[in-house]
């Protein structure tokens, strides 16, 4: 009961003040309260073979540096659960470092076992006096309570040490993974770049053949060439997306950042949207507030994000439907929306739409990198991107929205 009550009383103090501060307070208060020369908490090693000073008061650095105490036959009695008094430190065989103790001026010691919450001995609370000292039973009983408190704090300290070690190991592992990721992205960029030129060249040759320049083709040959060119287009799209991922992940977008006219970007994207939509009988409606202030951004990446969202909207809107583009000021942000009139995104696919290479129920074409590239680009601008499907106001279709901060200053990457 006493131990449980002591634990409950000490727990908020330990959490508020900190393990090391409580340990220092224990040894200092114990030494001053009992009038001894010094006090120390010695922690038992995990293998139970040594005792080491964890925190001390009133003892010199020279004495503390004498080395650990080896748990042997002479010290085992101190760890059997009963207080042990040594009245003649200079001549008692249980003292492993008598010379340093004599030089320190220590005449007697009292060792009190420290128990953990499980009842096992985890160390010693040791008091050092410059004269022979006989402690009364009441004093020893009180010191046992102090040692019990020390056991609680030592367990907290051990848990903290384990946590720090785990955090350090995790940090090292994360740093290694980041380094490996960077090396992989650099390799990916190099390979993609080296592949792009020969694939483009092969596609050009096939297009020349398809036009009949080398000679007439049969219907079957034209069909094969069409399929080959389509496959090469897909490969080139994947290579371009992989290069974009690499550029964004390795910070190359920073070189593209400059004061940019968002109005100009939006107007160009509306024109692109109409060029994609009108041949398919789809209407493009734009609602863009005038006179947006210039923002520090990458014109290339903003155009890429909006055109990607527009392309998806047109792809999934049936003929006769509508694609809406909106841009307006919201507090200190610019809110841009692209909304389609399609069938929407399934509940199963929604949580994963921004993942690399994810192609949900709606996506029948593409590399699966378009939306993940959009997310990277928006976040590198300090913004946020999200999707709603179905659109709350209409109960159908999908709306992609993203924000751009107005206060993004030059030089902020």
pLDDT, tens only, 184-239:
767 766 777 777 778 778 778 788 887 777 778 888 888 888 888 877 777 777 77
- Give the model's pLDDT for residue 16: 45
- Give the model's pLDDT for residue 413: 44
Each residue's pLDDT tens digit, 333-349: 999 999 998 888 888 88
- Give the model's pLDDT for residue 9: 43
Q: Show the domains of the chain with their CATH numbers.
A: 2-166 (3.30.450.40), 168-253 (1.10.287), 255-405 (3.30.565.10)
- Give the model's pLDDT for residue 217: 80
Least confident of 13-17, 168-172, 285-289, 332-336: 13-17
Least confident of 90-94, 231-235, 281-285: 231-235
In the block, tokens 């009245």 appear at 87
- The answer on pLDDT for 3 being more than 50 is no
Report the mean per-residue pLDDT for the chain.
83
């Amino acid at each position: 009961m006493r131990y449980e009550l002591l634990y409950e009383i000490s727990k908020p103090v330990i959490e508020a003040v900190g393990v090391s501060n409580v340990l220092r307070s224990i040894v200092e208060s114990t030494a001053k309260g009992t009038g001894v020369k010094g006090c120390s908490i010695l922690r038992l090693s995990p293998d139970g073979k040594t005792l080491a000073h964890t925190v001390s008061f009133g003892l010199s650095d020279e004495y503390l540096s004498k080395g650990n105490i080896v748990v042997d036959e002479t010290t085992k009695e101190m760890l059997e659960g009963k207080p042990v008094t040594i009245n003649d430190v200079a001549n008692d065989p249980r003292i492993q470092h008598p010379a340093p103790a004599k030089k320190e001026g220590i005449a007697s010691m009292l060792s009190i076992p420290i128990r953990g919450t499980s009842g096992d001995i985890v160390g010693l609370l040791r008091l050092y006096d410059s004269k022979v000292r006989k402690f009364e039973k009441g004093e020893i009983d009180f010191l046992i309570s102090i040692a019990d408190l020390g056991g609680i704090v030592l367990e907290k300290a051990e848990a903290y040490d384990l946590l720090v070690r785990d955090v350090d190991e995790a940090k090292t592992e994360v740093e290694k993974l980041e380094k490996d990721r960077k090396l992989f992205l650099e390799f990916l960029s190099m390979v993609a770049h080296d592949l792009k030129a020969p694939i483009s060249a092969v596609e050009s040759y096939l297009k020349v053949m398809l036009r009949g320049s080398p000679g007439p083709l049969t219907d079957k040959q034209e069909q094969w060439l069409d399929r080959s060119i389509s496959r090469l287009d897909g490969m080139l799209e994947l290579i371009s997306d992989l290069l974009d991922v690499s550029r964004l992940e390795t910070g190359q977008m920073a070189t593209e950042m400059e004061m940019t006219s968002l109005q100009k970007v939006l107007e160009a994207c509306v024109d692109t949207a109409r060029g994609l939509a009108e041949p398919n009988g789809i209407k493009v409606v734009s609602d863009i507030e005038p006179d947006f202030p210039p923002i520090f951004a990458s014109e290339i990446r903003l155009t890429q994000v909006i055109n990607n969202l527009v392309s998806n909207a047109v792809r999934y809107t049936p003929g006769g439907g509508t694609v809406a583009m909106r841009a307006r000021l919201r507090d200190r942000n610019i809110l841009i929306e692209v909304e389609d009139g399609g069938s929407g995104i399934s509940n199963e696919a929604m949580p994963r739409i921004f993942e690399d290479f994810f192609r949900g129920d709606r996506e029948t074409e593409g590399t699966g990198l378009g939306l993940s590239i959009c997310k990277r680009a928006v976040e590198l601008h300090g913004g946020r991107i999200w999707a709603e499907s179905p659109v709350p106001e209409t109960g159908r279709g999908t709306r992609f929205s993203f924000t751009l901060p107005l206060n993004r200053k030059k030089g902020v990457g």
